[in-house]
Amino acid sequence: MSHPSRRQMLGLIGALTAAGLLPAGVRSGEAATGLQLGPAIPFSADSVADLARSLAAAPYAPPPAISREWRDLSYDMLREIWFDGRRALFRETQGAVRAEFFVAGLFFAHKIRINAVEQGQSQQIGFDLGAFATTDRFPSLPGDGTGFAGFRLLGELQARDRFQEYVVFQGASYFRAIGKDNGYGISARGLALHTAGRTLEEFPVFREFWIEAAEPDAPTVTVHALLDSPSVAGAYTFAITKGATTEMTVSARLFPRVDLTDVGIAPGTSMFLFNGIDRSRFDDFRRRVHDSDGLLMMNGAGETLWRPLNNPGKVEVSEFLDNGPLGFGLMQRARALGDFNDLQARYDRRPSLWVEPLGDWGPGAVVLIEIPTDKEVNDNIVTFWKPASPLQAGREHRFDYRLYWGDKAPAEGAVAPVIATSAGTRVFEDGRLFAIDYAPHPALGDDPARIEVRVTTSAGRVASPILQRNPGTGGLRLDFTVKGEPRHAELRAELWRSGRRAAEVWMNRWVKAS
């Protein structure tokens, strides 16, 4: 990919606030890899919370930017510089984690501070342009004009003695992770503010990080982050366990400067261009193009809900009211290479991202925002939890949750999952046909005739629902037609057997193209 995407633009242009670098005068040590380390000071997770509390009590002050010549680098030119892996943090310790760094430039317009933590002591890492390698095409620029833009973690994800990248923190409060057999796709953020709201979206930034060393074979590594923006400061702790599914236990302590009325907790950002729901706008050799194909929710009442994603003609915002959610997330359920027919992008390997609240989050809503796009480089899908009440200024608000990055969510499997949704105009009669495929599951039983089908629409009328075996999947397919040519309809389909739901509740918003 040789051009910047919305994934980069949102994450990078959003990096408007970050901290300065360690001044040369306070450097007091050198790691075995040659990294310059500042003086050791006592550290704990409460240290970050104290910093966030102090920031929130003072007016917001943006940090200095990188120099003009570093901001003027092109996207392709920025790819000509990279960190020398021989200088990786903790490389000399033979521990379970190493860290490599990214240089600030172009859309990474400000410097962030990164610290190393060992045995309860923190040391700031001094930025050194000499720790980066370049091609002969990269211009000669002064190192004091730039700094760190972020970092990536490396560990023994697939094999012993082979350290490979599995987590990246870079750009505003964006971060990404993968499971053992995944490639990067969906991103998470520390916090969302005014996303698709009436006011300009605000992008909080992780302005300082603390990366903890880990003993050899340690299953979990820990990263702390200080979040800041004009509206809020925050302290985050990420306990990251790599594996077939990479898990992150997140503790977020927020200290608003103002009342936060339009806030998103545990936001995820993904891409959906097209699949079988509506691909009429795309002349493309592939069958699907998306990082995620649906929003999965398990609400406080124990219902499992599936909302297939759409690429709408205008911004669509959906709110799913709930109290004490059990989980939600953007899923990638198409897992066969043939589902996409793309040998380069390998969308079949993109991870799903499931959010599991820890503790009672109370009343609020899972919010889904779908933004029109005509290119797959644009991240156009956002989801998060929106509390029912504003987060009041001058108080601490805590949200704990666990993130799962991998092929499946731990909530899947209680009932038959939806594996595909297709739609199109009927050929021999009026109306729009919807086809929902369900995976094989014991809850469906052996006889489709014994399953009660419930399909409703908010506009128009439902006709000719048919539930039958799909020999291609081994599961069931539900077909139905929406008649009356509504311009907008909220659709819902349920399968019941012996008085219980046998499948995920399917929901979809149909908006007729202009």
Series of mean pLDDT values for 10-residue runs along the chain (514 residues): 41 31 39 84 97 96 90 95 96 94 95 96 97 96 96 95 96 96 97 90 96 95 98 98 97 98 97 89 92 97 95 95 97 95 96 98 98 95 98 98 96 93 90 96 96 97 96 96 92 97 96 77
- Rounded CA-CA distance 168/170 in Å is 6
Is the domain of 331 the same as that of 201? yes
Question: Of 508, 309, 289, 255, which Cα lies nearest the Cα of 378?
Answer: 289
Amino acid making up residue 78 = L
Give the type of residue at 255: F
Number of domains in the chain: 2
Question: The tokens of 108 are what?
Answer: 């990474």
At 57, which CATH number?
2.70.98.10
User: DSSP code of 88?
Assistant: -
If you count DSSP H runs as helices and E runs as strands, how many of each does the chain have, helices first? 5, 36
The residue type found at 181 is D
Same domain for 92 and 31 = yes
Contact between residue 440 and residue 474 where contact means Cβ atoms under 8 Å apart = yes
Residues 185 and 217 grouped into a single domain: yes
Backbone angles phi, psi at 45, to 5 degrees: -60, -35
61-87 residues labelled b (16+ CB within 10 A) or e (exposed): eebeebeeebbebebebbeebbbeeeb
Q: What is the pLDDT of residue 500?
A: 95
- Distance, in Å, from the CA atom of 514 to the CA atom of 510, rounded to the nearest integer, reads 12
For residues 83 and 194, membership in a common domain is answered with: yes
Token duo for residue 111: 């410097």
Whether residue 228 is contained in a domain is answered as yes
Residues 223 and 311 in one domain: yes
Domain boundary among 339, 372, 406: 406
Q: Which two tokens stand for residue 232?
A: 């809020």
Relative to beta strand 432-438, strand 263-270 is unpaired
Helix (H, G, I), strand (E, B) or coil at 143: helix
CA angle 73, 78, 79 (to 5 degrees): 155
β-pairing, 113-118 with 205-212?
A: parallel
Q: What is the pLDDT of residue 278?
A: 77
Rounded distance, CA 201 to CA 262, Å? 10
Question: Do 60 and 131 contact (CB within 8 A), yes or no?
Answer: no
- pLDDT score for 9: 42
Classify residue 412: in a domain, yes or no: no
Q: What is the number of other CB atoms lying within 10 angstroms of the CB of residue 208?
A: 20
Both 445 and 370 in a single domain?
A: no
Residue at a domain's end among 406, 429, 453: 406
Beta-bridged to residue 505, according to DSSP, are 305
Question: Collapsing DSSP states into helix, strand and coil, what is residue 87?
Answer: helix
CATH of residue 463: 2.60.40.10
pLDDT by residue (tens digit) across 393-422?
999 999 999 999 999 999 898 999 999 999
Residue 411 lies in a domain: no
3-state class of 322 per DSSP?
Answer: strand
Judge if 366 and 494 occupy the same domain.
Answer: no
Cα–Cα nearest to 207, from 188, 229, 185, 187? 229
302 exposure class (CB count in 10 Å sphere: 0-12, 13-18, 19+) = exposed
Dist. CA 180–CA 182, nearest whole Å: 6
- Co-location of 486 and 400 in the same domain: no
Within a domain: residue 413?
A: no
User: How far apart are alpha carbons 330 and 383 in whole angstroms?
Assistant: 8
| Alpha-carbon gap, residue 229 to 210, rounded angstroms | 19
State whether 331 and 425 are in the same domain: no
Smallest Cα–Cα separation from 222: which of 249, 189, 244, 191?
249
Q: What amino acid occupies position 482? A: V
Note the pLDDT of residue 94. Answer: 84
Q: Select from 406, 430, 446 the last residue of a domain.
A: 406
Phi/psi at 494 (nearest 5 deg)?
A: -135, 145
For residues 341 and 447, state if they share a domain: no
The answer to whether position 168 is within a domain reads yes
Residues 75 and 123 in one domain: yes
Give the domain range for residue 292.
6-406
Burial class (CB in 10 A: 0-12, 13-18, 19+), 428: exposed
Q: Tell me if 80 is assigned to some domain.
A: yes
pLDDT score at 512: 83
Q: Which of 96, 2, 18, 7 is nearest to 377 (CA)?
A: 7
Q: Is residue 212 part of a domain?
A: yes
User: Mapped to the 3 state alphabet, what secondary structure does 323-352 carry?
Assistant: ECCCEEEEECCCCCHHHHCCCCCCHHHCCE
451 and 325, same structural domain? no
CA-CA distance, 280 to 291, in Å (whole number)? 19
